[in-house]
Structure formats: C-alpha cells, structure tokens
Amino acid sequence: MRANDAISGLVLILLAAAMIALTAHFPEFPGQKYGPSLFPRIMASGLIVCGALLVRKGLAAHRTTGAPWVEIAPWVHEPWRLGSFLLMLGLLLLYIVASETVGFIPIALLFLGALFLWLSVKPLTAVITAIAATLIIHWFFSTLLRVPLPRGWLNSIL
C-alpha cells in the first residue's frame, strides 16, 4: 500500500506531537538548564518540520496530478512477499509480547534465524550469522550505549 505524502506527513506530525506530550513529565536535572526531555523534543521538532514538508508535497501532487490518497501496491498480490511482510509483523509482535519474559538474546536468535531461513539462507550460514549478529547487537546496546536489554531466562547468567 502506498499512501500520499500528505497522509504520511500528518501521521509523522501526530507522532511527533505525541512524543512532545510524553516528555512533559520527564524530571528535570537540578542545576542544569536542560533535562532528559531535550533530545526527544529536538527530534520531534525536526519530525514536525519534515511532516509539514511531506504534507505540502502531497497536497501539491494531489492538486497537479490527481494522485490518489491511498494506492494498493502490486506486491500485496504476490503470496511470498505478503508472507514476508506478515512474518516480519508476527516476529515484531512476538518480541514486544515475550521479550521481557524470554529475554533479548533468545528472541533475537529466533527472530534472525526465522528471517534468514525464510529468505532461503543456508541453514548453517543462517545459524552462524544469527548468533554473531545477536551477540554483536547485544554488546553494542548493552555495553557501548548502556541500554538495558531484557535478560529474561538468562537473568542469572548475564
């Protein structure tokens, strides 16, 4: 499905406005002029500008060429591509629902392994790449960026 840029821009503006609203209750750091809400608000402001530009472009395209507001993409009619899209959505929902209980590492291994096998990667290559990518991503986020990833079943080990 392809949406006119005006619709995409409006969605972007709404998400950015929600981002700003959600940062309203972030605590302030004593003695500093800025707190943890600064960076999300800067990002949201940029997204609002980008959204406004998309709305302008979409409205102009609709006026000049009569471009439809929403158009179904041809790939939707191809079973393999539709299956790939649905697999990706299903895996993302699985991560959202089960990551706290199961943990990042097992879910990421399952996620990447399933995608590699679906995309016809040789099984040995899929397993090796899924393990390496999971460990690198975990190291990058937990060590370098200090983002706490869910430990789940591996809580006693990590």
> What are the 10-residue block averages of pLDDT along the chain, 158 residues in total?
85 96 84 82 95 94 84 83 92 93 93 94 96 95 85 77
25 touches 41 (CB < 8 A): no
Give pTM, 2 decimals.
Answer: 0.59
Scan for tokens 């940029």, then name that residue: 46
Between CA 56 and CA 77 the distance in angstroms is 31
Task: Quote the tokens at residue 44.
Answer: 């949201």
The residues that bridge with 2 in the sheet, in sequence order, are: 71
What 3-state class would DSSP assign to 2? strand
78: left (phi over 0), alpha (psi -120 to 50) or beta: beta
One DSSP character per residue, 37-61 reads THHHHHHHHHHHHHHHHHHHHHHHH
> For position 87, what pLDDT does the model report?
94
What residue ranges do the domains of the chain occupy? 2-71, 75-154
